């Protein structure tokens, strides 16, 4: 039985990837490694936790000794590396945590793979990254796989650094690697510090919708299950040493997206039209806030046959329906540390 390590598998994107691999590859052992920080939640995987090919291991990728022990125990054939600190606001408040997890943790995994993979045939180290490493676009143009790196936040700088180390281990030591850089993900199970689940939750509870600046920043939105499908394709069919950009072909100004969200929420909550939009509150812009991200995903479409399955409005409606149907999940994850952190951050504005 082959063994694949998926790091960060209790998180938002990771849980969807774990579920897909557990169901799609019953003859492969899927080991989910997660530190279970505020963003990791095993409730995301209740439906597959008893699957015979699924194993959960609690651990921290910053612990090099623990990573070596894990590789020794399971003799992994592949790694899909998603574990990361990922929220820009948190990186501005505490950059060292992002450096430790995103950079040092990645190098620990690379070193473990290099040590145990004496024979690299059939092995693969797949590192999942972000479009934020490319910096900010103007009104025109798209990020391609050859766009120069220009990170603007501690988060994106730490991810950019980890990308460089993955490539360095490939070129220096011959480690078989692939990398992907994705646009903004949305969908079920996303921790509500990110825009869509945060605003959905605030609308449900008639709380303010804090919009940075004038809300004119542009993002490309990718449905998380489509992202998981892309990860599956890249892991199994992507070319070693290559990078693939994954985007949703869905550019939206933040304020336009929020207004659409408000309209749909009013309909689903049977509220008078315009009720949710009145909750919009403009706040001081984030430090170093990139103006526009947009992905050119033609390479993965042409080489691997991947393309998004949902139009954005359909994906947004499905996402809202999930949060409305899973209020207990939302209440659980918005208690405790999260609530304290965001109360403090909002008061600072």
Token look-up 């079920």 returns 188
Domain range holding 173?
2-186+221-246
Q: pLDDT tier at 293 (50, 70, 90 boundaries)?
A: confident
Note whether 89 and 287 are within 8 A (CB). no
* Distance (Å, whole) CA 72 – CA 279: 53
Bridge partners of residue 30, in order along the sequence: 4, 54
* pLDDT-above-90 percentage for the chain: 78
Active-site entry in 155, 186, 223, 244: 155
- Interval 220-230: pLDDT, tens: 999 999 999 99
Q: pLDDT tier at 139 (50, 70, 90 boundaries)?
A: confident
pLDDT at 284: 87
* Distance (Å, whole) CA 250 – CA 220: 5
Q: Which two tokens stand for residue 285?
A: 């812009």
Q: pLDDT tier at 51 (50, 70, 90 boundaries)?
A: very high
| Contacts with 239 (C-beta within 8 Å, 6 or more apart), sequence order | 178, 303
Q: With a cut of 90, say whether residue 287 has pLDDT above it.
A: no
Q: With a cut of 80, say whether residue 335 has pLDDT above it.
A: no
Residue 104 main-chain phi, psi, to 5 deg? -60, -45
CA atoms within 13 A on the CB side of 309: 9
Q: With a cut of 60, say whether residue 322 has pLDDT above it.
A: yes
pLDDT at 263: 96
Reply yes or no on whether 72 is catalytic: no
Q: Is residue 121 domain-resident?
A: yes
Reply yes or no on whether 57 is catalytic: no
Active-site entry in 34, 60, 85, 131: 131
Note whether 295 and 308 are within 8 A (CB). no
Q: pLDDT tier at 343 (50, 70, 90 boundaries)?
A: very low
Token look-up 């992907």 returns 180
Q: Is residue 134 domain-resident?
A: yes
Reply yes or no on whether 47 is catalytic: no
Note whether 263 and 273 are within 8 A (CB). yes
Threshold 0.85, pTM exceeds = yes
Residue 161 main-chain phi, psi, to 5 deg? -60, -45
Helical (H) or strand (E) element with 90: helix 88-93
pLDDT at 39: 83
Q: Is residue 298 domain-resident?
A: no
* Distance (Å, whole) CA 64 – CA 78: 18
* pLDDT-above-70 percentage for the chain: 96
Q: With a cut of 70, say whether residue 303 has pLDDT above it.
A: yes
pLDDT at 344: 52
Question: Considering its fold, how many domains does the chain have in total?
Answer: 1
β-strands 280-283, 209-212 pairing: parallel
Domain CATH number, residue 138: 3.40.50.720
Q: Is residue 280 domain-resident?
A: no
pLDDT at 346: 43
Average pLDDT, the chain: 92
Active-site entry in 34, 60, 85, 132: 132
Note whether 172 and 107 are within 8 A (CB). no
- Give the strand order in the sheet containing 251-253: 184-186, 218-223, 251-253
- Interval 163-199: pLDDT, tens: 999 999 999 999 999 999 999 999 999 988 889 999 9
| Contacts with 148 (C-beta within 8 Å, 6 or more apart), sequence order | 134
Q: Is residue 98 domain-resident?
A: yes
Q: Is residue 30 domain-resident?
A: yes
pLDDT at 347: 44
β-strands 78-81, 280-283 pairing: unpaired
Q: Is residue 126 domain-resident?
A: yes
* Distance (Å, whole) CA 322 – CA 201: 12
Note whether 286 and 89 are within 8 A (CB). yes
């Amino acid at each position: 039985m082959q063994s694949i390590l998926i790091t960060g598998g209790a998180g938002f994107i990771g849980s969807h990837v774990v579920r897909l691999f557990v169901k799609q590859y019953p003859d492969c052992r899927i080991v989910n490694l997660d530190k279970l920080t505020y963003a990791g939640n095993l409730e995301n995987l209740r439906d597959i936790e008893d699957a015979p090919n699924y194993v959960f291991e609690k651990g921290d990728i910053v612990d090099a000794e623990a990573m070596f022990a894990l590789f020794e125990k399971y003799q992994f054939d592949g790694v899909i590396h998603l574990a990361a600190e990922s929220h820009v606001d948190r990186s501005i408040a505490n950059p060292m945590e992002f450096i430790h997890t995103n950079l040092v943790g990645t190098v620990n995994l690379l070193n473990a793979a290099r040590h145990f993979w004496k024979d690299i045939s059939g092995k693969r180290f797949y590192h999942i990254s972000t479009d934020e490493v490319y910096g900010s676009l103007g009104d025109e143009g798209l990020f391609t796989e050859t766009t120069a790196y220009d990170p603007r936040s501690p988060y994106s700088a730490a991810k950019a650094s980890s990308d460089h180390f993955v490539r360095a281990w490939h070129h220096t030591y011959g480690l078989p690697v692939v990398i992907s850089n994705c646009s903004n993900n949305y969908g079920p199970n996303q921790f509500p510090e990110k825009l869509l689940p945060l605003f959905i939750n605030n609308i449900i509870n008639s709380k303010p919708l804090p919009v940075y600046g004038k809300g004119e920043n542009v993002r490309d939105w990718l449905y998380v299950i489509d992202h998981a499908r892309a990860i599956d394709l890249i892991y199994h069919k992507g070319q070693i040493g290559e990078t693939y950009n994954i985007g949703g072909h869905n550019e939206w100004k933040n304020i336009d997206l929020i207004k659409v969200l408000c309209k749909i929420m009013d309909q689903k909550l049977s509220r008078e039209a315009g009720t949710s939009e009145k909750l919009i509150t403009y706040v001081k812009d984030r430090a170093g806030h990139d103006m526009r991200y947009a992905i050119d995903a033609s390479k993965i479409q042409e080489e691997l046959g991947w393309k998004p399955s949902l139009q954005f409005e359909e994906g947004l409606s499905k996402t809202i329906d999930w949060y409305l149907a899973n209020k207990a999940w939302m209440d659980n994850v918005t208690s405790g540390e999260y609530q304290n952190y965001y109360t403090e951050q909002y008061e600072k504005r």
